[in-house]
Chain A
């Protein structure tokens, strides 16, 4: 099992998007989740850069889908959370909630 890696902030956003999207997670949808929910205009290539890093660390895995006509016959690259990724995300989430417990109101008021 090895050491669970500490996630960067953008990595956390991407992994949460994977959790939300489940089977429908691929580049465009992941980016859409982040833009819509986190309010960040991110480049699609930034999303892929992060996913590649996460894949290298063994936190996610990817596979290539079928070509679709609306994309001009191009295929999608799908992503899925691996157990190690889930553990890392859980740790990050626990750290975040632990740190914010009891001060949510004050944080919102900032």
Chain B
């Protein structure tokens, strides 16, 4: 004991004085021991230690004043103490394993969630596009009128080849341009037939993007011409490895695409999937769709236009030039409504505005969760700091400067954040791995606009497809993790460090074992403020989550017009090269016959466009004998092709007249079916049955008789209200690309196997694709709202839990600090009810202020989620009230234990605690 005390006295004394101070102490100790015994000497020594510690700061100042030239003590060097700080911090954390585990777990959850969301945001929004001169790449769109946009889904639309040719003659701001469009291609010959995603492009496409084939060569200008001598194709690295075993001899081989021969001339490098993000094959437009290059195809719009600015042309100049070019193009095509043109940088177009916003909102929300976690830890650390006041005071007394104390707390914060970040990285990688399982096929990622009333053409706005495989913990993401860990470390250690360094050691040590009531109350004020901040943040997150959940519920409850249960959809595309209209119609009719005959199948129908998936055709209609008005002033409708059983299979109701029958085939009078929206729009107050309409597609120019009215189906998205639709019989208007819809009592796998058997019995070369249940399609259509609701709910739940812990901790401390007061009150006759009121009043004050602040913040911020909501207003009073109620209940529950403890206090015991 003597040695420890002597050591402490030595440490508390400035080095220059130690020799005589310690000498004097020893001398006196011996004297007391001789005169009064060992016990008295020990007591004296402890008293002396106490006095020396109290006096130490003044002693040090006096010495420093006396010899100002002396260097500061070694222990205050910035680096020398660092290792010691961390070792000490480790010991401190190790002494409180419960707190440490809690803290690390909290931070790991917070940091992990942040890292995962950032990885997504980084992949979607931030990563530079992997193309040469990517900052000079732009998309140029044709721009339809507002009126047509309502029908087409977006104002920015695609090009026809003749318009592109005009554009090339007129434009002066771009030095490279190319058309591109995604296509499904049947790859046959050479092994199993398969459906692959490809892009049909003009010949400069690879050059423009700076993509050099890793094997072979790119397209030649000759191959881009309509009269090209041979059809060629480029394939992607993935397909090359998968189907051709990475054989260098693949170049020069001939493959069958849509039943036509193409020579492979090159392999594009790994990772390049085209601007559509999913292509495995590239073929020149001239080879795949030569008819599109003729003047007759001037209104056949189906290609997107990517262009590279000349080096001296700014983005703004190009954007300004686009409308001018648009006017000139319109003048070149005077027989159509003027459209105009617009341009946007490729980088800005990579995802649509809703997805961008959704990602940023999630990042913000998850940032709030981390903030709450930090506040919680600060709160806990402050509670711990009360217990550590004496510890800190002694350290200051024996020579630790304020800087040292701050550094000490910081070291603890850094350690916690470090372990939290390690745990967070593990959690994030787990989250991303499970996301890879949960994410739907990448092609639905951008297909579903979230905003009601703002439908879009599939993929028209968003460009970059991201699959889960593209999202990973790359260097930038880990750097982000490190960054937030640093911020976390500072946030967590700031308040305790400030409190610690502001300690007056003399007062703390004099106050003895009590926790120092004056400073304690002060600290309680700070902790109260922290709890208020927590509650406010929790309200914010809960409100966002509740709005999203409500949207998802509204979406779920929205009738889409079909019964999706037990319906499987399979895509069956017939190659034009081998199937004439006649042969194709026969095939389709045989196929439905055969599939209906599968035991367990209830009904089977064909249609060209599945519900809630978008991408359906639209065209103009007019009413004979009135002539087509033309010039873009026609009425627009969605147009669908269907077999007779289509309606019954999907559960679409007949409202009037009949649907198609086997008699409605080629050679018979043409018939059509309309939906209720069309009936209301075009024949208000009258029955359309028996009326005549003409349709701009499918060979129905000459008119057809409306034979029935069916219930509305939401074809575009769940959010989009039904628009007028017209159905044409497949047997009177052949379509090579159709979906088979089968309602059955079989499980999906058995049914698909049976369907595949029937298809291959008819044509062994036909691949099946897009095998999905109708319920999966509905799920895909809801995916974004659902995932938003899920994630925000998870974040909000975490926030709520952390907030409850925060309230609990503060209330517990309040009660223990006011124990003497409560005891006194009870001794003077206060009832448990009064005590309860006393305790709850504080909780009520904190909760009320927090709720008010949070609600105000939520009112200001929910407008940012407005575009993600469906069927619910951002200021929905019911949601706000429910959130306030929930938080109040949670706050009360968190107070329950501490409050009960207060009411059960024994007045005598409580007073003795004084």
Contact = CB atoms under 8 A, between A and B. Distances in A.
Q: What are the 8 A-B residue pairs with the smallest beta carbon separation, nearest first?
A: A74-B23, A43-B51, A71-B23, A28-B24, A27-B24, A77-B20, A45-B59, A49-B62
Contact of A43 (B48, B63, B65): B48
Interface string A40-73: 0111111011001101100000001000101110
B272 to A, nearest CB: 76
Nearest to A64: B20
B51 A42 contact: yes
A31 B12 CA distance: 18
Given A48-B17, A75-B19, A43 B24 contact: no
B189 interface: no
Given A44-B21, A72-B26, 7 more contacts: A32-B28, A48-B21, A55-B66, A56-B66, A74-B26, A75-B19, A77-B19
A38 to B, nearest CB: 15
B47 interface: yes
Contacts of B12: 45
B883 to A, nearest CB: 59
- A contact face: mostly helix, strand, loop, or mixed: helix
A80 B638 CA distance: 111
Contacts of B256: none
Contacts of B66: 52, 55-56
Nearest to B30: A70
A27 B65 CA distance: 20
B56 interface: yes
B30 to A, nearest CB: 6
A52 B500 CA distance: 31
A26 B27 CA distance: 12
B265 interface: no
B51 A26 contact: no
Contacts of A42: 51
A29 B17 CA distance: 17
A45 B55 CA distance: 7
A70 B51 contact: no
Contact of A41 (B13, B20, B47): B47
B510 interface: no
B892 interface: no
A75 B20 contact: yes
Interface in A61-106: 64, 68, 70-72, 74-77
B51 A41 contact: yes
Interface string B36-79: 00000000000110011011101100110110000000000000
A74 B20 CA distance: 7
Interface in A1-50: 26-28, 31-32, 41-46, 48-49
27 contacts: A26-B20, A27-B21, A28-B23, A31-B24, A31-B28, A42-B51, A43-B55, A44-B25, A45-B17, A45-B21, A45-B51, A45-B52, A46-B51, A46-B58, A49-B55, A49-B59, A49-B62, A52-B63, A52-B66, A53-B62, A56-B66, A70-B27, A70-B30, A72-B22, A74-B22, A75-B19, A77-B20
B41 to A, nearest CB: 14
- B contact face: mostly helix, strand, loop, or mixed: helix
Contact of B58 (A26, A44, A49): A49
A44 B24 contact: yes
A49 B12 CA distance: 13
Contacts of B20: 26-27, 48, 64, 74-77
B27 A45 contact: no
Interface of A: 26-28, 31-32, 41-46, 48-49, 52-53, 55-56, 64, 68, 70-72, 74-77
A56 B54 contact: no
Contacts of B59: 45-46, 48-49
A83 B72 CA distance: 34
Nearest to B54: A43
Contacts of B58: 46, 49
A48 B59 CA distance: 8
Contacts of A45: 12-13, 17, 21, 51-52, 55-56, 59
A72 B55 CA distance: 24
A28 B27 contact: yes
A45 B47 CA distance: 13
Contacts of A31: 24, 28
Contacts of B31: 32
Contacts of A41: 47, 51
Contacts of A52: 62-63, 66
B45 to A, nearest CB: 11
Which of B54, B59, B63 has the largest count of A CB atoms less than 10 A from its CB?
B59
Contact of B48 (A26, A44, A72, A76): A44
A38 B12 CA distance: 26
Contacts of A32: 28, 31
Contacts of B55: 43, 45-46, 49
Contacts of A26: 20, 24
A75 B23 CA distance: 7
Contacts of A64: 20
A27 B66 CA distance: 18
A30 B59 CA distance: 17
A106 B238 CA distance: 109
B19 A74 contact: yes
A49 B51 CA distance: 13
Contacts of A53: 62
Nearest to B65: A56
B43 to A, nearest CB: 11
B492 to A, nearest CB: 37
A3 to B, nearest CB: 20
A60 to B, nearest CB: 13
Contacts of A72: 22-23, 26
A14 to B, nearest CB: 13
A43 B56 CA distance: 9
Nearest to B28: A28
Contacts of A70: 26-27, 30
Nearest to B44: A41
Nearest to A51: B62
B25 to A, nearest CB: 6
A9 B23 CA distance: 26
B721 to A, nearest CB: 85
A43 B30 CA distance: 16
Contacts of A56: 65-66
Contacts of A43: 48, 51-52, 54-55
A77 B51 CA distance: 20
Contacts of B54: 43
A55 to B, nearest CB: 8
